[in-house]
Amino acid sequence: MESLYIIIPAYNEEDNIDSVAREWHNIVAKIGGNSRLLIVDDGSRDSTYTKLLKLENELPMLEAITKQNSGHGGTVLFGYNYAIDHGAKYIFQTDSDGQTIADEFGQLWEQRKDFDIQIGHRKERQDGLNRIFVTKALKLVLFLSFGLWITDANTPFRLMSTESLKLHFPKIPTDYNLSNVLLTVLYEKSKSNIRYVPITFRPRQGGTNSINLKRIFKIGQQAIKDFASLRRNI
């Protein structure tokens, strides 16, 4: 039977984690089998993990894990590695802020056998002009760094076959902050069968975003340096 692991990194998401876990647990429950909802707590300083442990008693296909803080990219990689080790055939990743809609997952799952990776294209964005600017700037940086004009490289709404992910996973540096961006580049460079699917992207549903513009600028500066170095190995 086909198994799906939904990977959700979480950091200080006590306001959102209950509703997000329930929404995405409904998806794995419908698919059944050995499918799991894996929520990885990235060393939260609030009650996120405590709430997850309580939810495990209620949601049978939820697995909650906590670990030392390593940032979003490192936590996503941790989740991917866990899913691979536990026999997932397909891996889907989204975030814990409630910006994506579980009901839109079905359009990816229906065509899972036709593509190596399917990535959400944030066409209907409600998360503010600053975030839209960051996405457009990243698009330009990726073009200058790798010669790729990518529709939406960093969307936290992506379904991958484990078989294809295994080919690219070893090329991602441990705890790399922009792991999903680099994965998209690797899929594009390898001429994989890729599909970009328009999705809705809501405002954050609660809590406070831990990444402000100042931090985004620093991440961007480091990304340009990293891409220059990584380009030689891709």
Please tell me the predicted confidence (pLDDT) of residue 226: 74
Mind listing the pLDDT tens digit for each residue in 42-60? 999 999 999 999 999 999 9
Q: H or E element: which one contains 77? A: helix 71-85
Q: Among residues of the chain, what percentage have pLDDT more than 70?
A: 89
E strands of 32-113, at which residues? 36-41, 62-66, 90-94
For residue 15, pLDDT beyond 90: yes
Please tell me the predicted confidence (pLDDT) of residue 208: 64
For residue 37, pLDDT beyond 80: yes
Q: In whole numbers, what is the pLDDT of the chain averaged over residues?
A: 90
More confident residue, 224 or 161: 161
Range of the domain at 25: 4-233
For residue 219, pLDDT beyond 80: no
Residues 226 and 178: their CA atoms lie apart, in Å, by 10
Structure tokens at 109: 């799952």
The pairing of strands 90-94 and 4-10 is parallel
The count of domains in the chain is: 1
More confident residue, 134 or 101: 101
More confident residue, 212 or 16: 16
Region 53-74: what's the mean pLDDT? 97
3-state secondary structure of 150: coil
The pairing of strands 4-10 and 36-41 is parallel
Find the CATH number of the domain harbouring 105: 3.90.550.10
Mind listing the pLDDT tens digit for each residue in 82-127? 999 999 999 999 999 989 999 999 999 999 999 999 999 987 776 6
| pLDDT tier, 136 (very low <50, low <70, confident <90, very high otherwise) | confident
